Amino acid sequence: MNLSMKKTIAGIGLSIGLGTAIGAEPTLLLIGGALNENADIISRFVNLSGGNAGAVGVITAGSYPYDLDCQQYGTSTSGGCNDPTVSNSKMNANYYVDLFQSYGIDAYWIPVDAATINNANDPAVVNLIANATGLFFSGGDQSRYLESFIHNGQDSAAMTKIRQQYNSGNAVIAGSSAGTAVMGDVMITGGLSYNALRYGAYQLGTEVDPDDLTYTQPGFALFNYGLIDTHFSARGRAGRIVELAYDRNIDTAWGIDEETALLIVGANGTAADGEVIGVGGVHRFDLSQSYTGNSNSYELYNVVWTHGTDQDLIDLHTGLLSNTRAQPSASGRASISRDVFSSTSPREMIGMGISLALSSDRSVIGQTRERSPRYAVRLSKSADFYAFGSSNTSFDGMRLDMYNKSVTPVSLP
């Protein structure tokens, strides 16, 4: 696509973001996990939540329940459930309360977890949610969030109030890791990319192997722009989210890297763009024009990949990027990955994608480490491909093909 056809934003301080006031529109801040006390992300959430005039309700129901931890390990502050270094719902809440308060905003725990699900119908807990101008959902296991707040398929009183606060714009909703994963409708619950390509997707509870791709539905369904996954590049999750999108006939899938966030102001449908904040990337995969091959082996072609980095705006509906950076000079050859979905060697696939974006090559083929069977991942620059920035590189219009390496893939256009 010609530069003149791309959306660019010049002379605008993107760090200001898409909004800084509460009480306007439904707002989501979705973090890919491993927040690492990133100041840009935390300060944006605090400011959107009203700063020193606001209050953050910290929700840690994805964590191992505090009461169960106490029963198992005792109540000691050294190795027991009150040890601030252990991970349970109350200790994790204390950590985040202290963190947000250090930014000048009031913060408190919303005491609901998988061992205290009745609290989700307690009027006192509902009142805590009603008084919050920001609600932060921490990491852990996203299935625990559903267990804690949705009972027998029905919203608890706390979940009803969360939706009211969100839809009215009275509280910004932020999630990290499991707290982001639960925000979608079809919710991914586990699995590796290799298993996803080999065996497909299983509804949670029907899987054969612990590494199989699993999902459940519905999640909280606050994010209405497709599937969403976290810890994305670090754990090689592109294969699993794309396969789940194809399996469930969903046109759009998103992946958010660690210490990175996607901010959407107007997340009820009025927003045109989402803003990327942080050190990694936000990935969008468009399957609307994808298709399979004619063999009996795995073949999926023509998935369009967008990769946005810090301060980029991603069009939520087209995947086109907006930013102020110039197109990099293309030179040299692209590098390949021989473990493209690696969960132990971080950023294999995005490394290959950025290498192609900066190279003079038109395509590159990587492969899985696993060999029975081995899958190929082919990236290519479509007619609409465009890259931004020689460092912290982002791009849109990159074609992604995945197929069993034993087959002859379809030719590129």
Q: Which residue has the higher pLDDT, 60 or 3?
A: 60
95 close to 63: Cβ distance less than 8 angstroms: no
| Per-residue pLDDT at 14 | 32
367 close to 377: Cβ distance less than 8 angstroms: yes
Q: Is residue 364's pLDDT more than 60?
A: yes
| Per-residue pLDDT at 22 | 54
pLDDT digits (tens, 9 = 90+) for 204-216: 999 999 999 999 9
Beta bridge partners of 309: 281
Average pLDDT, the chain: 94
Average pLDDT on 274-300 reads 97
pLDDT digits (tens, 9 = 90+) for 180-230: 999 999 999 999 999 999 999 999 999 999 999 999 999 999 999 999 999
Instruction: From 104, 106, 172, 170, select the one nearest 137 (Cα to Cα).
Output: 172
Which tokens hold the place of 233? 């590049």
% of the chain beyond a pLDDT of 70? 94
| Per-residue pLDDT at 270 | 80
Instruction: Kindly indicate the confidence band of residue 157, based on its pLDDT and cuts at 50, 70 and 90.
Output: very high
pLDDT digits (tens, 9 = 90+) for 30-76: 999 999 999 999 999 999 999 999 999 999 999 999 999 999 999 99
Task: Supply the pTM of this predicted model.
Answer: 0.94
Amino acid (1-letter code) at residue 160: T
Q: Is residue 102's pLDDT more than 50?
A: yes
φ and ψ at residue 228, rounded to 5 degrees? -145, 140
Residue length of the chain: 413
Instruction: State the architecture of 21-286 in CATH terms.
Output: 3-Layer(aba) Sandwich (3.40)
Contacts of 339 (CB under 8 A, 6+ apart): 345, 348, 368, 369
Torsional sign, CA 276, 277, 281, 285: negative
Sketch the domain layout of the chain as residue ranges.
21-286
Instruction: Kindly indicate the confidence band of residue 13, based on its pLDDT and cuts at 50, 70 and 90.
Output: very low
Q: Is residue 372's pLDDT more than 90?
A: yes
